[in-house]
Amino acid sequence: MKKIIGILICAFMITTLGTVLNIKYEKYKENKAIQALKSKKIELKTVKYNNGFEHLMPLKNILKDKKIVAMGEATHGTKEFFQMKHRMFQFLVEEMDYNIFGIEASMPDCVKINDYILYEKGDAKEAVAAMNFWTWNTKEVLEMVEWMREYNKAHENKIKFYGFDMQSSSLAATNVIDYLKNVDPDYEVKFHSKLEEFNDKKLDYVVEKKLPINDIKEIINNCDKKKDEYIKKSSKEKYEINNQNLKIICEFYDIFGEKSSDFEKENKRDKYMAENIKWILNHEKENSKIMIWAHNTHVAKQIDNFSNLDKEYETGNIKRMGSNLYDMYKDKIYIIGFEFNKGDFNAVVCNKETGNRTVEKCTLPSSEKGSGAYIFSKISPVFFIDFQSCSKDKYLLDILLASQMYHDIGANFVNEKASLKSQVLSERYDGLIFIDTTSNAEPN
C-alpha cells in the first residue's frame, strides 16, 4: 500500500512539475514573440492624416509594385480604423501614385461623391449620405471626402472615388433610363416600364417578387449590337458606365432575387465585388492603382469553410473577395487586416424584449490573456506588421500560423463571445494594423 501511495505521489509531482514547466515554456515563447514583434513592427505613431509620412516610409518597399492595397476592419463602426485608412490613402496617393479609392458600397450610389471630389458638384454631406450605409455616414468618412476634393483642386493628376458593391438596383436603373433616353429614346420607351421595376428603393436583401431580368439581359445585348452608334452619340466612357450599371442590376438580382441560400448570396456577392474592382481598374488608365476599403471578412484571401461550423453553410465554402482578387492579380495585391484590443465601436443591437434594432455604441473589454490581440497589446498602441518579414522567426510563426481568437464584428453586435472568431492571420492577410484602444465612429 505504501508503495502504491509513493508511486501516486511521484506521479503527481511529475505531473505538477510538467505543468509548471509547460506554463513557464509557454510564457517564454510569448515573451520571445513579443520581443520579435517589437523588432519587426512598423510604428505608426498616429491614425490621423496630415501628420507626415516619416513612420510610413518603410511601407514603400513592402507595397512597391502592388496595384491593389486592400484594407479591412474588424468592425464597421470604429473611428480609428476609418482615420487610419484615410491616413494610408493619403500616403498611397502622395507617395506611391495611387489614384483610385474604392469602398464597400453600391457602385452607382457613390457617383455623387466622385462628382463632388472631381467637379465640386453638390454637397459633401449629402453625397456621403447617398451611399445609403449608416456605417459610412460618419464624420471620419466625410473628412476624407473633403480631403480628396482639396487634393484634386491642387493637383493635375486627380483621384477618383468608386463603390464596388451591388446591394441596390434603384439608381443603376435610373442611370440606364437616362442614358437610353439620350442615345436611343425609342428603345428606352419600349423598355422603360421594365427598368422601372428595378428602380424601387424598397427592394432589399430579399426580393419577394419576380422581376424582368431577361429584359435587362436583352438591353445588354442591344447595347452590345449598337456599341459604335451609342459611343458616337455619347462617349466611350459613358457607354462603359451604362453597361456597368446594367451589370450591377443583374448582380443585384442574381444575389437577392433568385431565392439563393445565405451561403450562395455571400459567395456571389464576394465574387461580384472582385469583378467590379477589376472593371474599375480596366476602365481607368492603364497604370491606375487602387486602395479598397471593406470588412476584414471580405478582403481576406482565405476561402472560408463553414461546413463543420454551421449547417446553413454545409453545401461548401465561401470564396471571399480577397481570394478572388488574388486569383486575378497574384502578387500585385497586398491585403491588410485590422485588429484591436479593447474599446468602443458602433453596431446594430437587437433589443431582446421588443425586437427593435438600433445603432448603438458598444464596448468590449481588454482581450483575454493568451489571445492574439492580448499579445499585440504588449507591443505598441498603433503599429503595422508585415507577415513576410516574420516568416523566419519560429516564435512569431507560433502566433501567425496558429488559430487564435480575433475580433470579427460587422454591422451587428450580439455579445463579446459572438464577436470573436478563430482565425489564422497569415492565411487571411499579408499584414496587420493593430490599434490597442478604439472609440466609436461619429455619425454625421
Identify whether 20 is part of a domain: no
- Residue 222 main-chain phi, psi, to 5 deg: -65, -45
The pLDDT, as a whole number, for residue 401 is 84
Identify whether 66 is part of a domain: yes
Q: Which CATH number is 65's domain given? A: 3.40.1660.10
Whole-angstrom distance, CA of residue 236 vs CA of residue 319: 33
Identify whether 360 is part of a domain: yes
Best CA proximity match to 138, nearest among 405, 361, 301: 361
Whether this model's pTM surpasses 0.85: yes
Identify whether 380 is part of a domain: yes
Best CA proximity match to 246, nearest among 282, 311, 194, 208: 194
- Per-residue confidence in pLDDT tens, the chain, 444 aa: 566 665 656 555 555 545 544 445 456 667 777 888 888 899 999 999 999 999 999 999 999 999 999 999 999 999 999 999 999 999 999 999 999 999 999 999 999 999 999 999 999 999 999 999 999 999 999 999 999 999 999 999 999 999 999 999 999 999 999 999 999 999 999 999 999 999 987 777 677 788 999 999 999 999 999 999 999 999 999 999 999 999 999 999 999 887 777 888 899 999 999 999 999 999 998 899 999 999 999 999 988 876 555 555 555 688 999 999 999 999 999 999 999 999 999 999 988 888 899 999 999 999 988 788 998 999 999 999 999 988 878 777 778 888 888 999 999 999 999 999 889 999 999 999 999 999 999 999
Whole-angstrom distance, CA of residue 217 vs CA of residue 29: 59
Identify whether 395 is part of a domain: yes
Whole-angstrom distance, CA of residue 353 vs CA of residue 374: 34
* 68: Cβ contacts below 8 Å, ≥ 6 apart: 277, 281, 289, 290, 291, 292, 325, 329, 332, 333, 334
* 351: Cβ contacts below 8 Å, ≥ 6 apart: 357, 358
Q: Which residues span the domain enclosing 146? A: 42-165+329-438
SS3 117: helix
Whole-angstrom distance, CA of residue 62 vs CA of residue 55: 13
Whole-angstrom distance, CA of residue 252 vs CA of residue 165: 9
Number of folded domains that form the chain:
1
Identify whether 234 is part of a domain: no
**Through-space distance between the first and last CA atoms of the chain, rounded to whole angstroms:** 78
Identify whether 32 is part of a domain: no
Identify whether 17 is part of a domain: no
The pLDDT, as a whole number, for residue 314 is 53
